[in-house]
């Protein structure tokens, strides 16, 4: 049954050449699992992508119950945690994954830096990687406010004040984020929109460029 379904799809879309091109791609010797230490330091990029995928999937399920307004935001988070089946586990995955993805990405960037993988012809991919890191940091900042509790409120208020200190653009950045002089309903709505629409769109584009250049240039060699 599965083979017939695959053949039906393949006949219309021609997926076999694409799949074979991906599956048959040669992996360099220095990232071979047989070379345990070398393979270990080259796994951080893949782990980062795995955690990002987990964050996207868990975030989609959380968005099914979350209510982005100041009256019901905290109540909806509490409902997810206490009432929804496996909600506490899914929220825990999303919460801890937000920190873990930054750690894995930082380790990945350290590996790229110390092995000289940012040098020509991969310098553009390094720039894209830095942009991905900034987008992930944006996820952490915008997502922190969504539970709308005291800790989230005051941490975001401090973050908005820090953004305001940016030369020339600071006041405009704060107004764009907060939507007014103080944190309120508009702030929560904007942070939710940025968190679930704008940042994911930017992330998918940057990841597509990142993977395209990795495939085009190949996995970088050891130092």
The reported pLDDT for the residue numbered 223 is 65
Q: How confident is the model at residue 64 (pLDDT cuts 50, 70, 90)?
A: very high
Structure tokens at 205: 């584009």
Of 157, 223, 220, which is closest to residue 188 (Cα–Cα)?
157
Of the candidate CATH numbers 1.20.120.1200, 1.20.810.10, 3.40.1010.20, 3.40.640.10, the domain formed by 31-217 belongs to 1.20.810.10
* The 3-state secondary structure of 70-116, one letter per residue: CCCHHHHHHHHHHCCCCHHHHHHHHHHHHHHHHHHHHHHHHHHHHCC
Average pLDDT, the chain: 91
Q: How many residues does the chain have?
A: 223
The reported pLDDT for the residue numbered 11 is 87
What are the Cα distances from residue 146, in Å, to 52, 91, 142? 19, 12, 7
Q: How confident is the model at residue 88 (pLDDT cuts 50, 70, 90)?
A: very high
CA distance 56 to 97: 10
The reported pLDDT for the residue numbered 182 is 86
* C-alpha torsion angle, residues 175, 205, 99, 134 (rounded to 10): -50
CA distance 15 to 19: 6
Q: Give the mean pLDDT of 106-119.
A: 93
The domain locations on the chain are 31-217
- Over 70: is that where the pLDDT of 36 sits? no
Taken in order 64, 92, 108, 146, the sign of the CA dihedral is positive
Q: How confident is the model at residue 65 (pLDDT cuts 50, 70, 90)?
A: very high
């Amino acid at each position: 049954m599965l083979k017939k379904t695959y053949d039906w799809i393949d006949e219309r879309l021609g997926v076999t050449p694409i799949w074979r091109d991906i599956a048959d791609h040669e992996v360099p010797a220095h990232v071979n699992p047989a070379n345990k230490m070398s393979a270990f330091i080259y796994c951080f990029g893949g782990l980062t992508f795995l955690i990002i995928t987990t964050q996207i999937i868990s975030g989609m399920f959380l968005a099914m119950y979350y209510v982005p307004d100041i009256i019901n935001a905290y109540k909806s988070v509490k409902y997810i945690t206490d009432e929804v089946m496996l909600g506490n586990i899914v929220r825990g995955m999303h919460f801890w994954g937000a920190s873990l993805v930054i750690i894995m990405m930082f380790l990945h960037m350290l590996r790229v830096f110390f092995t000289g993988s940012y040098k020509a012809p991969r310098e553009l991919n390094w720039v894209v990687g830095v942009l991905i890191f900034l987008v992930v940091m944006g996820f952490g900042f915008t997502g922190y406010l969504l539970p709308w509790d005291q800790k989230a409120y005051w941490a975001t208020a401090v973050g908005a004040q820090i953004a305001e200190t940016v030369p020339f653009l600071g006041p405009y950045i704060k107004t764009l984020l907060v939507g007014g002089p103080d944190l309120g309903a508009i702030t929560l709505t904007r942070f939710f929109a940025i968190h679930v629409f704008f940042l994911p769109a930017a992330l998918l584009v940057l990841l597509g460029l990142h993977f395209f250049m990795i495939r085009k240039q190949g996995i970088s060699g050891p130092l």
